[in-house]
Amino acid sequence: MTETLVQSGSKSALIGFDHPFCVIGERINPTGRKILNEELERGDFSRVQADALAQVAAGATILDINSGAVFSNKMAEDVRYADNNFVEPTLMRELILKVQEVTDVPLCIDSSVPGALEAGLEVAQGRPLLNSVTGEEERLEAVLPLVKKYNVPVVAISNDDTGISEDPDVRFAVAKRIVERAADHGIPAHDIVVDPLVMPIGAMGTAGQQVFTLVRRLRSELGVNTTCGASNISFGLPNRHGINNAFLPMAMAAGMTSAIMNPVALPVSAKKIAEKKAAVLAAGIILPEDMDDEAFVQLFGMGSTHARPGKEMEAIRAANFLTNHDAGGAAWIKFNKTPGSDDSGGGRGRRGGRRRRG
């Protein structure tokens, strides 16, 4: 069965039909993370390293490294910084070296700049995953030779020069064409991980079904592994975790083998702690003067001041079990031995109960 081998200098991650779902941590990405972007501009990689460790602790087996920063201050001094072809190769190199200092999980080199992809390939140990090629002609020509030269697997996103089609048959055809073009370069299908593109379910009611159908077709007709930006499905909706927690098991049941996602439940924010304290005091509760934030949030059921695995990881681990990638449930039982997990019973085995009588 199809297996995509991703490696660091010392560790392997297998993406495949016969393996547990592969979680690719998405946090090391300055896009939309203003503070991280500013830190990177100042050459501060402390948060990057902390994010790497937190994601691995939460269950990521591959870390995505995205170099898409915008260095506005440097841009004001030196116009070259307005060009990501100038910024990203250097930044990608630095990001990878800093992450490799603290963890040895395999990496996913993520950039829309071919020069950054190659810079990453030069310094990443082992056999990283390249992210990404698309069906756009220019991108095919730039990326596939790199994939071949460095003998690495690649994420293939199913859009092309006409954009992202809302028609899943067109997105399948684009994926098929990328696989064929890769074959022309001598790249086997098992080294291509297709992202069928997840649309927001709030905007398109068929978005979920499109993904499930595409994943099944990509698996059975092209024999390729699949991935996605999982949180896109819940974009713009209330209770995004609720949607994500159902989406991931459904996609896994359809045969999805990996996702680029956030495995970490972020710590309770200082703002939320302050709000809760105000509500607690307003209710007439008197707190001991020496109570620290961690004790406070734990007693008041707010989670933790430390990063923990997110609810999505619980859904993935349960779905691994339900797709027979945790026979006997050892991994599930271990996961649920962490403090604060919900250990209460579900139902009572109704059917079994009744039948004993019958």
Q: Which of residues 235-264 bind a second copy (CB under 8 A)?
A: 235, 237-247, 249-250, 252-254, 260-262
Closest CA to 235 of 201, 210, 209, 261: 201
Binding to a second copy, residues 159-178 (CB under 8 A): 164
Query: Which of 126, 201, 277, 278 is in the footprint of a second copy by CB under 8 A?
Result: 201
Rounded to a whole number of angstroms, the minimum distance from the CB of residue 151 to a second copy is 25
Position 322 contacts a second copy (CB under 8 A): yes
Residue 243, classified by CB atoms within 10 Å of its CB into exposed (0-12), middle (13-18) or buried (19+), is buried
What tokens were used for 276? 């809760």
Query: For 290-356, what is the HEC assignment?
Result: CCCHHHHHHHCCCCCCCCEECHHHHHHHHHHHHCCCCCCCHHHHHHCCCCCCCCCCCCCCHHHHHHH
Query: Which of 93, 170, 173, 300 is in the footprint of a second copy by CB under 8 A?
Result: 300
Q: Is the Cβ of residue 7 or residue 143 nearer to a second copy in the bound state? A: 143
Query: Which of 37, 49, 209, 304 is in the footprint of a second copy by CB under 8 A?
Result: 209
**Which residue matches tokens 């990203």?**
88
Closest CA to 319 of 338, 332, 337, 302: 332
What tokens were used for 296? 């406070």
Rounded to a whole number of angstroms, the minimum distance from the CB of residue 143 to a second copy is 13
Position 97 contacts a second copy (CB under 8 A): no
Instruction: Centre a 10 Å sphere on the Cβ of residue 344 and count the other Cβ atoms it contains.
Output: 5
Rounded to a whole number of angstroms, the minimum distance from the CB of residue 188 to a second copy is 25
Binding to a second copy, residues 122-151 (CB under 8 A): none
Query: Which of 156, 197, 218, 224 is in the footprint of a second copy by CB under 8 A?
Result: 197
Position 357 contacts a second copy (CB under 8 A): yes
Site string for a second copy, 6-45 (x = CB under 8 A): --------------------x--x-xxx------------
Determine the interface stretch with a second copy among 1-9, 89-97, 166-174, 196-204 (rule: CB under 8 A): 196-204
Q: Is the Cβ of residue 11 or residue 33 nearer to a second copy in the bound state? A: 33
Rounded to a whole number of angstroms, the minimum distance from the CB of residue 220 to a second copy is 14
Q: Is the Cβ of residue 43 or residue 345 nearer to a second copy in the bound state? A: 345
Amino acid identity of residue 290, one-letter, is D
Q: Is the Cβ of residue 170 or residue 302 nearer to a second copy in the bound state? A: 302
Position 299 contacts a second copy (CB under 8 A): yes
Rounded to a whole number of angstroms, the minimum distance from the CB of residue 243 to a second copy is 5
Q: Is the Cβ of residue 7 or residue 227 nearer to a second copy in the bound state? A: 227
Q: Is the Cβ of residue 41 or residue 326 nearer to a second copy in the bound state? A: 326
**Could you tell me whether strands 154-157 and 129-134 are parallel, antiparallel, or unpaired per DSSP bridges?**
parallel
Residues 224 and 218 sit within 8 Å (Cβ to Cβ): yes
Position 183 contacts a second copy (CB under 8 A): no
Total number of residues binding a second copy (CB under 8 A)?
A: 99
What tokens were used for 239? 């209770």
Residues 40 and 157 sit within 8 Å (Cβ to Cβ): no
CA 237 to chain centroid: 19
Rounded to a whole number of angstroms, the minimum distance from the CB of residue 325 to a second copy is 9
Q: Helix 46-58 and helix 84-102: axis angle, to 10°?
A: 60
Instruction: Centre a 10 Å sphere on the Cβ of residue 263 and count the other Cβ atoms it contains.
Output: 25
Determine the interface stretch with a second copy among 12-20, 44-52, 114-122, 279-287 (rule: CB under 8 A): 279-287
Angle formed at CA 336 by CA 331 and CA 337, multiple of 5 degrees: 100
User: In angstroms, rounded to a whole number, what is the distance separating the alpha carbons of residues 164 and 333?
Assistant: 41
Instruction: Give the three-class secondary structure for 270.
Output: helix
Binding to a second copy, residues 60-89 (CB under 8 A): 66, 68, 84
